[in-house]
Structure 1
Amino acid sequence: MHRNINPSNFVVGQPHSDFDDQIFIIDFGLARRCREKSRPFGACPIVGSDAYRPISNYSRLEYQPKDDIESWFYMCHEFFNGNLPWDKLPHTSTVDFKVHCRSLGRDLLLTNMPVTFDEILEGIDSSKTNVDYFRISALLKAELAKLSLEQLNEPFSWKKDPRIVYRAYKIEQGWK
């Protein structure tokens, strides 16, 4: 389990390499192996980025594989909406608002997202430990097929125009 799924822990392969069209996950500093079922679960420290932290971790419950998917779901919500519903809330209110969004305020979590994500969220909420990764993959592929997005086979925008990478680097360095 990665235990710190958030946008800053995903990178694209090095330009002009065999991996320049692949997305990688990085920063395994908090990662742990899944425990064997026969071993007892104990309290664990609160880890990861607060905005993407799964609800169960606030209660110091041991991380489960489904928790990484919950964090990924929050990340997807942010990609579709530009922010998370709890972004402007104080840290102490985040968990309460996340719980609200998972029940009465569910529509807040599904704003601007394809209908498929409601089913994915249901799978996360109905599981105590694991999620059906193959089902999630099938749901996402079916959603993409409905959209008939030919551009998914096109190169990333920065591969089409390498100046994009240079401009991003300049911005990051504070240049104009």
Structure 2
Amino acid sequence: MKMEVYVLTELTKRGSRHFCRIEDKGRYGNFNYVVMTLVGKSLQDLNKGGPGGHMTLGCAISCGIQALEALEDLHNIGYLHRDVKPGNYTIGRAELNELRKVYILDFGMCRKFTNDQGIIRKPRQAAGFRGTVRYAPISCHLQRELCRKDDCETWVYMIVEFTYGRLPWREVQDMNQVGEYKKRVRQPMYIMELFPPPCPREYIQILQYIDSLKYYDAPNYQMIYGLMRQALQSSHVQEFPYDWEMGGPTAYLLH
């Protein structure tokens, strides 16, 4: 909770786009409390409830852009999320006209990757496993220190799930086997296992770019947004309306 409050306080100061505001915090008797703005349904629920168990392509790409904007804002204050997944993102509330706004939640696994001077900390020799096996980056399976590129890799797995409905290792239980599967789908002959239609080819370019980054590198978020916008055009899909807006395939989930 301490981490949650600190991160949200820092982001509120900067007027960040995709985070709940802290309305109040304090102590009552033996309890610490924090009051945050209320949000809507999780992207996990909205994704699963879609036709075929996933979002339509335009909606998936657009939500992906917003989800990455949230990570960029978090990275800009020197924090990694380390547990990026559909259940940690939500939409806003209909009564606030925020059905097109995506929020990121749950900063319990966050880690500061910079020191007080803003210098990136040296990686620890062994960092242990953090996060959720299905979405964890390869570095996590190798118990390496995580960095910004790892949050972005996890984000790629999430947008594949938004787009196609499942990841190829979904049924695999063993953590090490999942890690090996993630390595295998990098090979040209297996890459379409990770990015089956309707995943646009731009997703492959994005993952290859993320994989090229090193521990100290800052991701070029603008380039990734550019590829996502290109994916909208090359796939001939519209960004809006989102699936859960009135008349859309998952509008029923909000009632």
Q: Which range, TM-score by smaller chain?
A: 0.7 to 0.9
Q: Take 2:252 and 2:166, find their aligned partners in 1: how far apart are those partners?
A: 27
Match of residue 153 from structure 2 = 70
Q: 1 or 2, which has the higher strand percentage?
A: 2
Tell whether 2:109 aligns with 1:30: yes
Aligned residues: 164
Deviations 1:34-64 (CA, angstroms, capped at 9, x unpaired) = 2355632102121111000000111111111
Match of 2:184 among 100, 108, 118: 100
**TM-score, with normalisation over the residues of structure 1?**
0.83
User: Which ranges of structure 1 fall in alignment gaps of 5 or more residues?
Assistant: 167-176
Partner of 1:2: 81
Aligned to 1:119: 205
Select the structure that is richer in helix: 1
The AA in structure 1 aligned to 2:136 is: R
Offset at residue 30 of structure 1 (A): 0.6
Report the alpha carbon displacement of residue 18 of structure 1 after superposing the two structures with TM: 4.6
Aligned partners of 1:103, 1:163: CA distance in 2, in Å?
A: 40
Ranges in structure 2 where 5+ consecutive residues have no aligned partner: 1-79
1:17-42 deviations in whole A, cap 9, x for unaligned?
15332011111111122235563210
Shift of 1:146: 3.0
Query: 1:84 maps to which residue?
Result: 167
1:109 corresponds to which residue? Answer: 194
Quick one: structure 1 residues 108 and 163, their matched pair in 2 at CA, closer, same or farther if it must change by over 3 Å?
closer
Give the match for residue 237 of structure 2: 149
Name the structure, 1 or 2, with higher relative contact order (CA <8 Å, separation 6+): 2
Q: Normalising by structure 2, report the TM-score.
A: 0.59
Residues 112-154 of structure 1, C-alpha deviations (whole Å, 9 max, x = no match): 210101110110111113321111001111221234434x233
Aligned CA distance change for structure 1 residues 19 and 81 (closer, same or farther; 3 Å): closer
2:195 counterpart letter in structure 1: L
Aligned equivalents of 1:8, 1:85: Cα separation in 2: 19
Q: Is the 8 Å Cα contact of residues 85 and 154 (structure 2) preserved in structure 1?
A: yes
Does 1:52 find its partner at 2:135?
Answer: yes
**Counterpart AA for 1:146:** S
Which amino acid in the other structure matches residue 245 of structure 2? Answer: K
Give distance in 1, aligned partners of 2:81 and 2:166. Answer: 22
For residue 214 of structure 2, the aligned residue among 108, 120, 128 is 128
Select which of 228, 238, 245 maps to 1:140.
228
| 1:170 match | none
